[in-house]
Structure 1
Amino acid sequence: MSNELDDTHEIEIDNKEAALENKTSDKKTNDVKDKEDYESVCYICRRPESKVGKMIRIPNNICICSDCMQKTFDTINNGSPYMDMMGLPPNFMNLSNLQKDIPKSQKLKKKKTEENKEKEDKVLDIKNIPSPHIIKGQLDDFVVGQEYAKKVISVGVYNHYKRVATNTMDDIEIEKSNMLMIGPTGSGKTFLVKTLARLLNVPLAITDATSLTEAGYIGDDVESVVSKLLAAADNDVEKAERGIIFIDEIDKIAKKKNTNNRDVSGESVQQGMLKLLEGSEIEVPVGASSKNAMVPMTTINTKNILFICGGAFPDLDQIIKTRLNKQSSIGFSADLKDKYDNDPNLLQKVAVEDLREFGMIPEFIGRLPIIFTLEGLTKEMLVKVLKEPKNAILKQYKKLLLLDEVLLEFDDGALEAIAEKALEKKTGARALRAIIEEFMLDIMYEIPKDENIGKVTITREYIEKKGVPVIEMRGTATQTIPMLEQQEV
């Protein structure tokens, strides 16, 4: 019996040793792969190998550039006043105690060789680029309406692909076409780009303009938007240089009116973004949003980066209306002053002078040549948003109740009632989920209590708090059962 226990114990020890060896070998393999894929970064100045040349490697996997190594030796040999003040010997530094690894988010991928570039160019062949109608068809599965906006953004992305793939054509340089998207809140600007991000093979970064300030002030610099794209491209500079950046809430950096202070988060940000939009080489931090001595820096050319800007531009419709009403005067051919008061598509008549009046500087607007608007959502469009997209809100709740083996149905009157309530809130499609959450709360709470419930039908009366939902029990005909006590309004 003792011999069997000894044998079992020896087998367990052998298994543990084998697992430890496998773990060690996997770590070595990953370390070797990191060395092949990523550039070495100086531990002291954080500059990559492409900037400072060949690195000096010392124990514990530490790389130091020749400049920093020379400065370190000079400090050790000559001594330092700070060492004397602290009573430390000149050779107090022990490099073996330094941190062993640099975070992967701050490692920069090596530049590709000519062979790899040729292979990549074949992948970006014009024949492999999805046509605009294919991109729009994929957007149609998720986004309801907005036909013109989807057409514009599909053509813009398609041309961006072609521009990156060809680079030049018969010595005619193709300029990039940055886009400005204008639409009321809840019309689907951000959702349109987020859906596009899932469909594209190029890196896409979505950022917000509200936190941007002029360089030197608290907040993010304009270069931080490119840093986010670099992170989305897995710190691959060449991949990031053909990506797309969507800057949301661009109307928040409009020039402030009636202010005597320095406009560090308005006009100054627009001026700082001019070279970014046009195309220039900028230095950005790797793995961080702000520049500091402990973060490696790299250079990115924004020449092939497509910028899409979006904003709600509140009160822009009033500026458009004022411009259009200037044509009204006394006479038979004069326009009425209240002609545009109830125009739902007033934003579609936007002109460059309206954006200048809003607070966007001419140089900034000039670098966004494609300007298009999104329609405000109507009652019919809101009903389609509820039930037609692949990830529609109603489909999500149906799936939730289906997990409890209960069918959930909405009649046409209920859908219209939800859309009417959403229009009253004036927040677009964002209002739909809040309305549904409100009346579905009691249903989601009561359904798990009774396992005999097989089907729930939501009616208009229930949405308007004048009735109860129709409940169908398992194995019985449809009947109205007061599952929830509600007072008539």
Structure 2
Amino acid sequence: MTELTPREIVRELDRYIIGQDDAKRAVAVALRNRYRRAQLPEDIREEVTPKNILMIGPTGVGKTEIARRLAKLVDAPFIKVEATKFTEVGYVGRDVESIVRDLVEAAIRLVKEQHGRQVRGRARAQAEDRLVELLSGATKKRKSANPIDILLGNRPKEPELSPEDRDKLVVQQDDVRTRLRAGQMEHEIVEIEVEEVRPMSEIPGMDVNMNDMLSGIIPKKTKLRKVEVREARKILEAEEEDNLIDMDQVYTEAIDRAEQHGIVFLDEIDKVAGRGGGSGPDVSREGVQRDILPIVEGSTVNTKYGPVKTDHMLFIAAGAFHVAKVTDLIPELQGRFPVRVDLKPLSVEDYKRILTQPENALIRQYELLLGVDGVSLDFTDAALSAIAECAWQDNETGENIGARRLHTLLEQILMDIAFNAGGGDAPEVTVTVDKEYVEKMLGADLHRKDVRKYIL
């Protein structure tokens, strides 16, 4: 649980997201309230529920990015789902309870990765021991065992070595280990046993995976693979890591993490809102809303890892609400999103800042990408202003896709440079992208207007 104050959370979000201060403040307070709730006495803690957030604003202004960065900031399980993907219970399609199941899966991946980092050192050491045995010939091929014997735990025994052979083997293993650590055997071929991957036989709507049910009864099928030492090391390290991780503990911790710290981002919530002024009830959309309602207000969902409560999950819903209005949502669902934030459309200055200021700024990404081929990009301030102006103009006169418009423009501007870059003996060059070059590459885009809105 983070101990960051709301100001510190906003400062962290400012590193990646330009503008939208109101939305940042809202999610920062919601996150801090989780920490505050954890400090309360247990009897009152259960009564304090998260204040879910409804973000209202056009596409491409940072709604999803704010929620995603917030989850990364605190290592919280996070999933983004589109409300339009779900159907009413009884119809073909995904049911809303799959939101919780997906969140639990995300929590398991997160917790397993954290546990894996804790045992990674031991896993590397054990993988090295197995590699040394394989390369020194200590591991002989076992005779294929009867499946019934495997089920009963009766495996063929390894032959005993004489004292002289054991001493020779120790010397040989020390030599192999030294060469391994020096990186002298990376391209040698070694034969290892790997688990055969089988296709998952999971039926939609069922909480139990048939593979999981049978895995404890039927032994895992393995096959021999000849691979280079460097690849074998990765495979063996992953196997040893899995063996060292207590998955029961991972499942327990992941369910608790999902229940107490999970964040669900419900996108396109406006698309399941009924249209105002219709002649009758919109059954399909209203049905999805009523199915979402129990999850948001707090219920228990059965998963293959156990029951999961949704009472303390944070739900962040988002939508453009161009056609429908917030009041077109059913009243019960409106009441479950007490915090409402209007995200502002991006200005020309915002687009210019997005190009250069965030840590993962688009200009920096292209500079690093082309730097691989020895091309150094230098954007002038006038060029950045021209790109920002064009992005704003295109969004105003055509479909407003927000900051995503910048990707389209930069690809168009840098297409020739990226195509001509590269080559083993190509010298390093510096390419200056100025306003004239931007206008040349964008051409008519700078002065184009979308006339579709004038067509009846």
Q: Shorter-chain TM-score category?
A: 0.5 to 0.7
Do residues 391 (structure 1) and 360 (structure 2) align? yes
Do residues 459 (structure 1) and 434 (structure 2) align? yes
- Secondary structure, aligned partner of 2:84: coil
- Alpha-carbon distance between aligned partners in 2 of 1:279 and 1:153, rounded to the nearest angstrom: 20
Determine which of 229, 252, 255 is the counterpart of 1:237. 255
**TM-score, normalising length: structure 1:** 0.56
Note the 1:362-441 alignment, pairs <5 A: 362-426=331-395, 427-441=401-415
- Alpha-carbon distance between aligned partners in 1 of 2:367 and 2:44, rounded to the nearest angstrom: 56
**TM-score, normalising length: structure 2:** 0.60
- Whichever residue aligns with residue 451 of structure 1, its letter is A
- 1:454 CA drift (Å): 2.0
Show CA shifts across 1:166-220 (max 9, x none). 3646689323201111111110111111222221122222211111111111111
- Secondary structure, aligned partner of 2:369: helix
- Alpha-carbon distance between aligned partners in 1 of 2:442 and 2:271, rounded to the nearest angstrom: 44
Change (3 A) 1:277 1:466: closer
Equivalent pair of 2:267/2:319 in contact (CA under 8 Å):
yes
- Whichever residue aligns with residue 300 of structure 2, its letter is E
RMSD value, Cα = 2.5
Determine which of 30, 34, 59 is the counterpart of 1:156. 30
- Secondary structure, aligned partner of 1:303: coil
- 1:452 CA drift (Å): 4.0
Note the 1:58-457 alignment, pairs <5 A: 124=1, 129-166=3-40, 168=42, 173-234=47-108, 235=251, 236-242=254-260, 243-256=262-275, 258=278, 263-264=283-284, 266-283=285-302, 285-286=303-304, 298-315=306-323, 354-356=325-327, 359-426=328-395, 427-448=401-422, 451-452=426-427, 454-457=429-432
- 1:453 CA drift (Å): 5.1
Equivalent pair of 2:412/2:442 in contact (CA under 8 Å):
no
Q: Which is richer in helix? A: 2
- Alpha-carbon distance between aligned partners in 1 of 2:45 and 2:385, rounded to the nearest angstrom: 57
Give the structure with higher Rg (CA). Answer: 1
- Alpha-carbon distance between aligned partners in 2 of 1:466 and 1:404, rounded to the nearest angstrom: 21
- Whichever residue aligns with residue 355 of structure 1, its letter is V
Equivalent pair of 2:274/2:282 in contact (CA under 8 Å):
no
- Secondary structure, aligned partner of 1:233: helix
Show CA shifts across 1:351-385 (max 9, x none). xxx521xx211111111000011111000000000
Show CA shifts across 1:416-474 (max 9, x none). 11112111232210100111001211011123368345211101111111899xxxxxx
Change (3 A) 1:466 1:252: closer
- Alpha-carbon distance between aligned partners in 2 of 1:147 and 1:214, rounded to the nearest angstrom: 36
Show CA shifts across 1:88-138 (max 9, x none). xxxxxxxxxxxxxxxxxxxxxxxxxxxxxxxxxxxx5xxx62221221111
- Secondary structure, aligned partner of 1:409: strand
- Secondary structure, aligned partner of 2:55: strand
Unaligned stretches of 5+ in structure 2? Answer: 109-250, 396-400, 449-456
Equivalent pair of 2:270/2:326 in contact (CA under 8 Å):
no
- Whichever residue aligns with residue 145 of structure 1, its letter is G
- Secondary structure, aligned partner of 1:215: coil
Note the 1:29-68 alignment, pairs <5 A: none
- 1:260 CA drift (Å): 5.3
- Alpha-carbon distance between aligned partners in 1 of 2:404 and 2:91, rounded to the nearest angstrom: 34
Change (3 A) 1:267 1:170: closer
- Secondary structure, aligned partner of 1:434: helix
- Secondary structure, aligned partner of 2:422: helix
- 1:263 CA drift (Å): 2.1
Change (3 A) 1:383 1:233: same
Show CA shifts across 1:390-414 (max 9, x none). 0111001111122223220111111
- 1:299 CA drift (Å): 1.9
- 1:261 CA drift (Å): 7.7
- Whichever residue aligns with residue 203 of structure 1, its letter is P
